[in-house]
Structure 1
Amino acid sequence: MTFDIGLTAIGGTVLLLGLLSVPVRRLWLSGPLLALLLGVLLGPEVSGLLTPAEWGEESYLLEQAARLTVAMSLMAIALRLPPGYLYTHMRSLLIVLGPVMIAMWVVSGLATHLILAVPIWVALLVGAVITPTDPVISSTIVQGSIAKRNLPERMRHFLSAEAGANDVLSYPLVFLAVLMLAHPPGAALEEWLVRVLLWEVLAVVALGGVLGYLAGRALSWADRSALVPRTSYLVFSLSLTITVLGITELARTNGLLGVFVAGLVFRGVISEQEERDEENVQDAVNDFFLLPVFVLLGLTLPWSEWAALGWRGPVLVVAVLLLRRLPVFVALSPFMRSVHGMREAAFLGWFGPIGVAALFYANLSLHETSNSLVWTVGSLVICASVLVHGVTATPITRLFGRRAGRAANDREHSIA
């Protein structure tokens, strides 16, 4: 019966939000926020209808659900980006994936260290977990009619590309902290350089590229030979994501990075018509996998551990949301050619949501270190980001569109 209740709740949520997506956005709500609230209502702390502890180890369920959801979102982003996008916008992306990302890690870690008074490498592990701009929530911000009417395609592509890339590049930061907590500094750095950077990062780039190239060639050949109908693209796109994720995980590498690289290469190989089909299919798959993971998160929130943080929990949340990304992004935006002006810098600096990627890394870190603080703080910041960024997405997007349109009109009048 419990399983049937879960199926009904999750399936009904996906169905209802799919039918009412536009009115929901007009109410300044978001699908992830509503799914999270549904999970809380169904969970053991409120109605008690669903108890995830009866299904198995909660952290393992969350880790695997988050891993699959992020993989789907990364493939969707890779198929959505124009071919060669990362190369043509390399300078701006290197800035946001280099100094901006490192600053996000350090600021989040120092805030955790100072406010919670925990050891520095524990704090830096928490900082690494909440560093990535979530590709799942970012997709909900840049997709839909409101975003398309008010945001230039250039900005939507940039936020998607950054979210996809820095999500997978957070992996080395997480494991640097994990290894520093487990080994002496010298041994930890050696293992990090050899195992994490060389094998789990660099090697998987090559592996993911090969898999994406072969899949693209196979689909193009099958399409030319009339062996594959358009309706089978759903199966092909979903299967590619799962296959790459499975192969890279079996090779004990960074599976999410492998999926993202495979998607980018795959996009560059297939034809323009196939690109449009695959993009639409993968976005639909992404929407289907998006909401259940937030229902599951709502079911498993550590309420008592949050209460034990006392006043420090809310203070840390405010510090992270305000200081983690916005100041450094705005400060370095003049060096990013893809970001035009302070208005765009402020928008992109604010919308660096923390979500399913952090959920994955928090539970992965919990398994690697057995330090429950990572899950306690990580889940608290994730929920705060889902609430704050979800509620502000629609009004700020509309405000940006109005001001951008007004500025364009002023320029036209001045030229005339």
Structure 2
Amino acid sequence: MTEATFAVLALLILGWAVVSDLLARFNITGPLVFAVAGYALGNPDWGPLPVDVEAPSVHLIAELTLALLLFSDAARVNLSRLKRDIRLPGRLLTIGLPLSVIVGSLLAAWIFDDFTWALAGFVGATLAPTDAALSAQVINDRRIPMRLRRTLNVESGLNDGIVTPVVTFTLAVAAGQLGVESHDGGSDHGGGALLELAVGIIVGLVIGTVGARLMTLGSRRRWIATGARRLGTLAAALSSFALAGAFSGNGFIAAFVAGIVFRAVLDEEVVDADNAIELPELLGEVLALTVWFLFGAALVPIAIHNFDLPLLAYAVLSLTVVRIVPVALSLLGTGLDRQTVLFVGWFGPRGLASIVFALLAIEQLGDIPVVEQAVAVVALTVLLSVALHGVSAGPLGRRYVRFEQSDDDSTAGPRSRLSVHRPPTPPAPPSTDQP
């Protein structure tokens, strides 16, 4: 990345920070703004800031961003609290997510004849995880039931880490099927991916446990200076990712596991966990805007160049049928009404994780035409998601609240669906009419 590109990005982030709330009122999200800016300024055909999609710096920024967000999202999940309300997110992660991967993979294999089964599996797994940042208005809307918002937030925080091993495995197998040599000069057809997964889990367990215990010890004995807890947490996130890479392990899995273990082991009576996680989360958010710029500059042109009706059909079906049907099946028997199920099903936007996985495909499989087509499928789906989910978050959230409120007013007796939290109605003022 050149100095000019870095300067422009910094200025864009500054400008976005100043008007972010104003744009949010018009349902314009940060990812949309930076994707459009990247396409306009970094387009290889005319942009003054061309971005090389195969440049090592681009891949490093994207991978580091995903690692930080995986760690912070996992560390945000309080397992002790989640156990009391695990039913809905548990169903989405254990039933809905695998079904989405399977349905998305089968659909890709059916629509795109040139895809190998592993490449179709890669597309299905890459587009299965959701990104809560694209529907932040819904998750932050206090009028929507807390249990529902927590479900969407927990799902998006954990599903990218859960699906990462599948993406890694399918990429390794696809390399063998396409005759692409791995980094060590051979093609292991997936065996190396399993070893990377194992190393990543071990590194994550060690760093998460040691980091949390050291943080607790330092806080209990008052060794840690003000603000140093956040620095220590950031170091734990970065070291888990880097150390796994140094031992030829999967850095994403290491960061994800480290985040879960870090929060579980940390003594929250001594350390404010939410405060400690702020710095890696904030840095991840800043880098995420950079990745959205790179997405617009490097991946959107690939989607436009390869655009055709089958590509569009898959993107639309991925955002609707491939998401909503598995969600509906996973929520059977929960007592949720149809509107709530559709609401949860629609708000599964594709985002940062899908972008990083697409860049991994370019890095590991090269610029083979069939690989470029797979990347185009992912890029177009994410592009549509950025536009549709970002624009619809506010209006559909308000519509859902109005529906629940009107249904509350017209329904007597106990209800099994989630109730909308509303402040109590103030008493009416005394009448001034004389008897």
TM-score, structure 1 as length reference: 0.84
Moved more, 340-349 or 210-219: 340-349
Q: 1:88 to 1:146 in 2, by over 3 A?
A: closer
Greater RCO (CA < 8 Å, at least 6 residues apart): 1
Question: What does residue 345 of structure 1 align with?
Answer: 341
Q: Which has the larger Rg?
A: 2
Q: 1:96 to 1:305 in 2, by over 3 A?
A: closer
Q: 1:258 to 1:149 in 2, by over 3 A?
A: same
Separation of aligned partners in 1, 2:199 and 2:356:
22
Task: Give, in angstroms, the shift of residue 342 of structure 1.
Answer: 3.4
For the pair 1:238 / 2:231, whether they are aligned, the reply is no
Task: Give, in angstroms, the shift of residue 386 of structure 1.
Answer: 1.4
Question: What does residue 423 of structure 2 align with?
Answer: none
Separation of aligned partners in 2, 1:405 and 1:368:
51
Is the 8 Å Cα contact of residues 39 and 301 (structure 2) preserved in structure 1? Answer: no
Question: What does residue 42 of structure 2 align with?
Answer: 43
Q: 1:154 to 1:414 in 2, by over 3 A?
A: closer
3-state secondary structure, aligned to 2:223: coil
Separation of aligned partners in 2, 1:193 and 1:72:
26
3-state secondary structure, aligned to 1:301: helix
Q: 1:405 to 1:284 in 2, by over 3 A?
A: farther
Separation of aligned partners in 2, 1:202 and 1:153:
36
Q: How many residues align?
A: 400
- Using the aligned pairs only, state the percent identity: 23
Task: Give, in angstroms, the shift of residue 320 of structure 1.
Answer: 1.4
3-state secondary structure, aligned to 2:167: helix
Task: Give, in angstroms, the shift of residue 242 of structure 1.
Answer: 0.7
Is the 8 Å Cα contact of residues 62 and 297 (structure 1) preserved in structure 2? Answer: no
Supply the AA of the counterpart residue of 1:158.
T
Q: 1:304 to 1:76 in 2, by over 3 A?
A: closer
Q: 1:262 to 1:176 in 2, by over 3 A?
A: closer
3-state secondary structure, aligned to 2:396: helix
Question: What does residue 395 of structure 2 align with?
Answer: 395
Separation of aligned partners in 2, 1:344 and 1:200:
39
Find 2:120's aligned residue among 123, 133, 136: 123
Task: Give, in angstroms, the shift of residue 13 of structure 1.
Answer: 2.1
Is the 8 Å Cα contact of residues 43 and 51 (structure 1) preserved in structure 2? Answer: yes
Task: Give, in angstroms, the shift of residue 160 of structure 1.
Answer: 2.7
Question: What does residue 70 of structure 1 align with?
Answer: 66
Separation of aligned partners in 1, 2:395 and 2:260:
32
Task: Give, in angstroms, the shift of residue 349 of structure 1.
Answer: 1.3
Task: Give, in angstroms, the shift of residue 295 of structure 1.
Answer: 0.8
Question: What does residue 373 of structure 2 align with?
Answer: 373
3-state secondary structure, aligned to 2:32: helix
Is the 8 Å Cα contact of residues 132 and 357 (structure 1) preserved in structure 2? Answer: yes
Q: 1:51 to 1:211 in 2, by over 3 A?
A: same
Question: What does residue 151 of structure 1 align with?
Answer: 144
Q: Deviations over 1:327-371 (max 9, x none)?
A: 120122124x5x844333222211222122111211222333333
Q: 1:412 to 1:238 in 2, by over 3 A?
A: farther
Task: Give, in angstroms, the shift of residue 154 of structure 1.
Answer: 2.5
Task: Give, in angstroms, the shift of residue 127 of structure 1.
Answer: 1.9
Question: What does residue 178 of structure 1 align with?
Answer: 171
Question: What does residue 188 of structure 1 align with?
Answer: none
Task: Give, in angstroms, the shift of residue 291 of structure 1.
Answer: 0.7
Q: 1:66 to 1:157 in 2, by over 3 A?
A: farther
Is the 8 Å Cα contact of residues 179 and 192 (structure 1) preserved in structure 2? Answer: yes
Separation of aligned partners in 2, 1:107 and 1:237:
38
Q: 1:168 to 1:151 in 2, by over 3 A?
A: same
3-state secondary structure, aligned to 1:210: helix
Separation of aligned partners in 1, 2:126 and 2:206:
29
Q: 1:75 to 1:175 in 2, by over 3 A?
A: closer
TM-score, structure 2 as length reference: 0.81
Supply the AA of the counterpart residue of 2:8.
A
Separation of aligned partners in 2, 1:308 and 1:245:
34
Task: Give, in angstroms, the shift of residue 126 of structure 1.
Answer: 2.0
Question: What does residue 248 of structure 2 align with?
Answer: 252
Separation of aligned partners in 2, 1:290 and 1:304:
20
Q: Deviations over 1:235-267 (max 9, x none)?
A: 223222111111122222222222122112222
1:134-145 pair list within 5 angstroms: 134=131, 138-142=132-136
Separation of aligned partners in 1, 2:169 and 2:90:
20
Supply the AA of the counterpart residue of 1:400.
Y
Name structure 2 gaps, 5 residues minimum. Answer: 178-187, 416-435
RMSD of aligned Cα (Å): 3.1
Separation of aligned partners in 2, 1:60 and 1:342:
46
Supply the AA of the counterpart residue of 2:30.
G
Supply the AA of the counterpart residue of 1:251.
F
Task: Give, in angstroms, the shift of residue 35 of structure 1.
Answer: 0.8
Supply the AA of the counterpart residue of 1:396.
L
Q: Deviations over 1:8-55 (max 9, x none)?
A: 3211222222232222211011111111111112123575220123xx
Is the 8 Å Cα contact of residues 174 and 365 (structure 1) preserved in structure 2? Answer: no
Is the 8 Å Cα contact of residues 164 and 260 (structure 1) preserved in structure 2? Answer: no
Q: 1:24 to 1:251 in 2, by over 3 A?
A: same
Task: Give, in angstroms, the shift of residue 317 of structure 1.
Answer: 1.5
Q: Deviations over 1:113-145 (max 9, x none)?
A: 3333323413232222222223xxx14534x69
3-state secondary structure, aligned to 2:348: coil
Question: What does residue 385 of structure 1 align with?
Answer: 385
Is the 8 Å Cα contact of residues 58 and 300 (structure 1) preserved in structure 2? Answer: no
Find 1:97's aligned residue among 93, 96, 110: 93
Q: 1:58 to 1:202 in 2, by over 3 A?
A: closer
Separation of aligned partners in 2, 1:183 and 1:231:
48
